[in-house]
Amino acid sequence: MPMEKHEYLSDVWRDGIFDNKVVFCTGGAGSICSAQVRAMVHLGANACIIGRNVEKTENMAKDIATARKGAKVLGLGAVDVRKPEALVAAAERCAKELGSIDFVIAGAAGNFLATIDQISSNAMKSVMDIDVLGSYNTLKATLPYLVDSANKYKVDGKTPPKAGTGGRIIFVSATLHYSGTPLQSHVSIAKAGVDAMSVSVAIEQGPKGITSNVIAPGPIAGTEGMARLSTDDSRKETPRQIPSQRMGYVKEIADATVYLFSDAGNFVNGETIVVDGGAWHNQSIDKGAFKYPDFLLSGDTVTGVAGMKKKSKL
Cα-based distances in Å from 72 to 48, 53, 98, 173? 8, 20, 8, 27
Neighbours of 208 (CB within 10 A): 13
User: What DSSP string runs through 222-257?
Assistant: T-HHHHHHS-HHHHHHGGGGSTTSS-B-HHHHHHHH
Region label for 70, one of left (φ > 0), alpha (ψ between -120 and 50) or beta (otherwise) = left
What's the farthest any 2 CA atoms get from each other in the chain?
Answer: 61
SS3 308: strand
Task: For 257, list phi and psi in degrees, rounded to 5.
Answer: -65, -45
SS3 271: coil
Q: Which of 21, 135, 191, 198 is catalytic?
A: 191
Residue 287 a catalytic site member: no
Residue 34 a catalytic site member: no
Q: Strand 211-217 relative to strand 272-275: parallel, antiparallel, unpaired?
A: parallel
Q: Which of 34, 100, 149, 173 is catalytic?
A: 173
Strand ranges (E), the chain: 22-26, 46-50, 73-76, 103-106, 168-172, 211-217, 272-275
Rounded Cα–Cα distance for residues 177 and 189 (Å): 7
What lies within 8 Å, CB to CB, of 74 at 6+ separation is 47, 48, 49, 61, 93, 94, 97, 98
Q: Strand 103-106 relative to strand 73-76: parallel, antiparallel, unpaired?
A: unpaired
Which residues are catalytic, by number?
Answer: 173, 191
